[in-house]
Structure 1
Amino acid sequence: QAFDRARFGRRSEKLGSANGDDEQQAFVFEEIETGIAAIKAQVSKGRAQADGKRAPRRRKGFAPHLERIETVIEPQELAEHAGKQKVLIGEGVSERLDVVPAKFRVIVTRRPKYAFKNADGVIQAPAPAHIIEGGIPTEALLAHIAVAKYADGLPLYRQEAIYARDQVELDRQLMAQWMGKLGFELEIIADYIFSEVKKAERVFADETTLPTLAPGSGSTKTAYLWAYARDDRTFGRSGPPMVAYRFEDSRAGECAVRHLNGYRGIL
């Protein structure tokens, strides 16, 4: 009932604000599914205890690229088996999905410094270039934080709390500075992707609201994220699909004119 009310009820009856309706509905749906699963588990356990059998479950196979860790469980050797030769006639195989939680590690780089006997001069390998020069993060850590923030919607303050569980102190302000530097370094890739998008015969465009912090006001303002996509697979082309994003404070047509400057295809 709560889920149906969230989906079909009047706007005044819906959970949360207009911007948060989708998230609230997803939350309600997940909670309902969790509750139903708990009830089913209770019922299934009662049936299993009654008849001693577990109902068979159909499963979809796991992706082939996932690493397989095999464990062989041999039957227990009993006294009555002594002197008998075992012949393998088959096996029961089951697969369960496992996960290795992300873990932090420290990359230690040593650059030996050498001098020459009875000669002048000192040699040492140059320090490798990094995105954050003189900083603590590796490029893998920067990618991890960026994907969590921008692809998975995990704000930096939440990441800060998550990492603290591993006794890793990463201040959100520091991570924000890293993301700014990373965005600058990735700008050339973003521009290249957009230039490739504009080479297509057809470009699909849309914009969506994006609540954005208004500096100094302590509140948010409505900004817009413009998306420009190309995907000609349905037109028999083999080019890879791609999408480019542009952030704006407006949804005026002038934004699209500026973004698509020089484009002569179908919008």
Structure 2
Amino acid sequence: MTLVTDSLPNDLQALKTLVSAQRAEIERLKMMIAKLRRTQFGRSSEQLDAMIDQLQLSLEELQVSQAEMTTPVEPAPRAVSRRKPLPEHLPRETHVHQPESQCTGCGGKLRYLGEDVSEVLEYVPARFKVICHVRPKWVCRCCEHIAQVPAPSRPIARGLAGPGLLAHVLVSKFVDHLPLYRQSEIYAREGVELERSTLADWVGQSSQLLRPLINALEHHVMSGHKVHADDTPIGVLAPGNGKTKTARLWTYVRDDRPAGDSTPAAVWFAYSSDRKGQHP
């Protein structure tokens, strides 16, 4: 739905009419999304999720078209910015832009009057790095005993990936829904060849590594005086026939904060291939 600049009308009034129509459509889509979100937790919430996602895409395309057609307006010299301040926890990099040391009008000496400070939000793309662990060997001149520090432990024994990379792969797959084959393609653009099978091995072994944490989380949630539970149907591939079947993701929540309890709230997820009563 991206707008082609050549297809825009040359007539100013027609262009204003088009912009007004798009603004009205944007507001309508926003209202529809808000209404769907209010009813998102009903029986057909999965279908509503798909509808909301589609509407969000349409809204984004319209907003892009609006920005493409609208000429940027320079703010007034002393206009008060209504933007939210940038987060304080972000690192700051200061660039000082000094004028000439002498007045360009009369050549006189300048004195400090003050300064204007403006902030620009920038993004530094994620990058790979190689950490080399060097373990020097020392030998005793008397008894020829060899001294060397043991090798640092790794999340995966003899594995290539560090903990930060493993965490990134897991979050990208399970939180951002980025399949492993797409991650492999993204890493290849950085000149790092990581096969999908390699990433799959890392995910499987990371699951084993995190199992004690998952068990502790399950124990914490299930030991509460009351537990909130629900299940969500999810489509999964059935092995062998290439078709999909409906599995279940069970959600268990412990949260007694509304009752004044200071015990940390937590959620534990459990997967089952069907909805038989033996699973909850």
Scaled by the length of structure 2, what TM-score is found? 0.75
Cα offset for 1:231? 1.8
Q: Distance in 2 between matches of 1:95 and 1:23?
A: 37
Residues 1:109 and 2:133 are matched in the alignment: yes
Residue 38 (structure 1) aligns with:
65
Q: Distance in 1 between matches of 2:224 and 2:195?
A: 42
Residues 1:135 and 2:159 are matched in the alignment: yes
Q: Distance in 1 between matches of 2:78 and 2:236?
A: 51
The question of whether the paired residues in 1 share the 8 Å contact of 2:103 and 2:109 is answered with no
Distance 1:42 1:73, change over 3 A: farther
Cα offset for 1:37? 3.9
Residue 261 (structure 1) aligns with:
none
The question of whether the paired residues in 2 share the 8 Å contact of 1:206 and 1:228 is answered with yes
The total of aligned residue pairs comes to 243
Q: How does 1:185-224 map to 2 (within 5 A)?
A: 185-224=209-248
Q: Percent of pairs identical after alignment?
A: 36
The question of whether the paired residues in 2 share the 8 Å contact of 1:205 and 1:226 is answered with yes
Residue 230 (structure 1) aligns with:
254
Cα offset for 1:111? 1.6
Residue 262 (structure 1) aligns with:
none
Scaled by the length of structure 1, what TM-score is found? 0.78
Q: Secondary structure at the match of 2:159?
A: coil
Distance 1:73 1:24, change over 3 A: farther
Q: Distance in 1 between matches of 2:168 and 2:120?
A: 26
Distance 1:138 1:154, change over 3 A: same
* Structure 1 gap ranges (5+): 9-17, 257-267
Q: Distance in 2 between matches of 1:201 and 1:209?
A: 27
Q: Deviations over 1:57-100 (max 9, x none)?
A: 52112222111222222335542252233232x43222222222
Q: Secondary structure at the match of 1:161?
A: helix
Residue 241 (structure 1) aligns with:
265
Residue type matched to 1:75 in 2?
P
The question of whether the paired residues in 2 share the 8 Å contact of 1:3 and 1:25 is answered with no
Residue 172 (structure 2) aligns with:
148
181, 185, 189: which one aligns with 1:165:
189
Residue type matched to 1:22 in 2?
D
Q: Distance in 1 between matches of 2:116 and 2:77?
A: 16
Residue type matched to 1:85 in 2?
L
The question of whether the paired residues in 1 share the 8 Å contact of 2:103 and 2:110 is answered with no
Q: Deviations over 1:121-146 (max 9, x none)?
A: 32222222222211211111111101
Q: Secondary structure at the match of 1:253?
A: coil
Q: Deviations over 1:150-206 (max 9, x none)?
A: 111111111011101001111111111111111111111111111111222221111
Q: Distance in 1 between matches of 2:176 and 2:216?
A: 24
Query: Which of 183-192 and 205-214 deviates more?
Result: 205-214
Q: Distance in 2 between matches of 1:75 and 1:207?
A: 64
The question of whether the paired residues in 1 share the 8 Å contact of 2:256 and 2:265 is answered with yes
Q: Distance in 2 between matches of 1:131 and 1:157?
A: 22
Cα offset for 1:221? 2.2
* Structure 2 gap ranges (5+): 1-24, 36-44
Residue 264 (structure 1) aligns with:
none
Residues 1:83 and 2:108 are matched in the alignment: yes
Q: Distance in 2 between matches of 1:66 and 1:142?
A: 24
Q: Distance in 1 between matches of 2:241 and 2:138?
A: 56
Q: Distance in 1 between matches of 2:29 and 2:91?
A: 38
39, 49, 66: which one aligns with 2:90:
66
Distance 1:180 1:86, change over 3 A: same
The Cα RMSD (Å) is 3.0
Residue 15 (structure 1) aligns with:
none
